[in-house]
Structure 1
């Protein structure tokens, strides 16, 4: 008697889990934005991979941040936070030809009418020397 009862319970749990997984299949596809700034030894680049948040008016989930610094620069990948100004998406800047790949899994959002943007900010010392800005 216990085995059929256990089988029925397993079937109910499996059906519940399968039903819960269905909305994930409807998620928005990922998009990417490429950023470049500077030339020669100051050429830096970055790619931000993101996904729109379903049901949110002005929100995206940052899936991946890839950044490569020019030979003489350090770079930050930032977003235009409506409360704090330009806010970093990478935990530390790659410098002097270095690169960085991070998966912050971070959701950024802004009020309706505030265009979400990302920028590649390249610094030579403490001076902002190059930047590239793209809309999400």
Structure 2
């Protein structure tokens, strides 16, 4: 990933964000594989046509909420590592409020298409990379 016009501290933060996302995904995938359970978890996922500058923070908030859903699912399934600590780090690194009060004309999370975990993770990572490369 090439980060144009991004400071060293921002680059470190982006790497931390991506590491947190991938760590939670890894926990979920390994837990389901170890228990021979295919996951039926679907997550609201912003599509490329949903993304505009004015909605960046709302979309980021939605992605965070869906990652919280993954961690909650791991808690319900009694996984040894639920990823809660990584989720807290993700919130810190995203530098967003855990709640959104100003939606404007942006879609609500529930208006995005539901996708399975691998598609959701790929879209989340692409969203982060797009934001910190040349921008939307």
TM-score after normalising by structure 1: 0.25
The structure that is strand-richer by fraction is: 1
Q: Which has the higher contact order (CA 8 A, sep 6+)?
A: 2
TM-score after normalising by structure 2: 0.25
Q: Report the structure number with the largest CA radius of gyration.
A: 1
